[in-house]
């Protein structure tokens, strides 16, 4: 019997890389998608394949291209023969103030945060149904409580949040669909002032930032231990949405 397989997008760095490593330690084969970060993705693949030969497949794709999105599922099935878990992790994130935003920004932010996850779920759904598998979308607490100067990103994540609930209905009972909404887990890759970071931390109940492993462990829980959870979004935010 072949091993369970995880297909994860945007997994060369940060939360995606941590999730790959945790699922691999838990016995999964990994189909690791990346966009531009080939060197980082190759390093992860080499390390994990050294532990278990042939257990990681690298897949490069531009998620704004639906044909390439569909090819991710096809290539994973050709290589591993099954898809048990799909994690839609890839995400573009940057400010789009209303007086400066463009249609191109709309297209880019919705492509990675809403369109690609939906069409990848569609492409994976036959195998996910056959394996009684699950989909996990990485959302954001800002899908419900918008972040200033980021209207398009927040709208795209809100669409992703609605997708979780819609697909849970559409793909059940065979496939469970859930989401994870991170809070202050990892700071944006563009500069953020220390004072701004501290303001965010002070708004949490736990008074500290989280780590990538907090998200990875939540994903593994949803994939392997949450057989009666579907259509839910788990906030992993240190209690920030409590507005303490």
In angstroms, the Cα distances linking 39 to 45, 80, 98 are 10, 23, 36
- H or E, element range at 183: none
Supply the pLDDT for residue 188: 62
Supply the pLDDT for residue 143: 95
Q: Tens digit of pLDDT for each residue in 58-80? A: 999 999 999 999 999 999 999 99
Joined tokens for residue 28: 């999964």
Q: Tens digit of pLDDT for each residue in 108-128? A: 999 999 999 999 999 999 999
Q: Which of 111, 37, 128, 41 is nearest to 76 (CA)?
A: 128
pTM, 2 dp = 0.95
Q: Tens digit of pLDDT for each residue in 123-178? A: 999 999 999 999 999 999 999 989 999 999 999 999 999 999 999 999 999 999 99
Residue 145, CB-side half-sphere exposure with 13 Å CA sphere: 10
Q: Tens digit of pLDDT for each residue in 86-99? A: 999 999 999 999 99
- For residue 243, what pLDDT band results from cuts at 50, 70 and 90? confident
Boundaries of every domain in the chain: 5-236
Supply the pLDDT for residue 231: 98
Active site residues: 153
- For residue 244, what pLDDT band results from cuts at 50, 70 and 90? very low
Supply the pLDDT for residue 239: 85
Question: What are the φ and ψ backbone dihedral angles of 64, each rounded to 5 degrees?
Answer: -80, -10
The superfamily in CATH containing domain 5-236 is: NAD(P)-binding Rossmann-like Domain (3.40.50.720)
Q: Which residues fall within 8 angstroms of residue 168, CB to CB, at 6 or more apart? A: 176, 177, 178, 230, 231
CA triplet 233, 244, 177: central angle to 5 degrees?
0
Supply the pLDDT for residue 186: 65
Q: Tens digit of pLDDT for each residue in 170-228? A: 999 999 999 999 987 766 655 566 766 787 777 777 888 789 999 999 999 999 999 99
């Amino acid at each position: 019997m072949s091993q369970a397989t995880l297909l994860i997008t945007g997994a060369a760095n940060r939360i995606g890389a941590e999730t790959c490593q945790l699922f691999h330690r838990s016995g999964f084969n990994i189909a690791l998608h990346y966009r531009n970060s080939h060197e980082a993705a190759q390093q992860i693949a080499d390390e994990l394949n050294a532990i278990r030969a042939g257990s990681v497949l690298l897949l490069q794709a531009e998620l704004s291209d639906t044909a390439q999105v569909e090819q991710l599922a096809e290539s994973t099935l050709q290589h591993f023969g099954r898809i048990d878990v799909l994690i839609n992790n890839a995400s573009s994130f940057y400010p789009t103030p209303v007086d400066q935003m463009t249609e191109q920004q709309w297209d880019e932010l919705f492509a990675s945060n809403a369109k690609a996850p939906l069409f990848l779920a569609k492409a994976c759904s036959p195998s996910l149904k056959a394996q009684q598998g699950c989909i996990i979308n990485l959302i954001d607490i800002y899908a419900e409580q918008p972040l200033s100067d980021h209207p398009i990103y927040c709208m795209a994540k809100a669409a992703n949040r609605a997708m979780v609930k819609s697909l849970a209905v559409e793909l059940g009972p065979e496939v469970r669909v859930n989401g994870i909404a991170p809070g202050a887990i990892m700071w944006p890759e563009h500069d953020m002032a220390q004072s701004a970071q501290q303001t965010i931390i002070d708004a949490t109940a736990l008074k500290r930032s989280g780590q990538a492993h907090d998200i990875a462990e939540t994903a593994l829980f949803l994939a392997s231990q949450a057989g009666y959870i579907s259509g839910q979004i788990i906030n992993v935010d240190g209690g920030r949405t409590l507005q303490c």
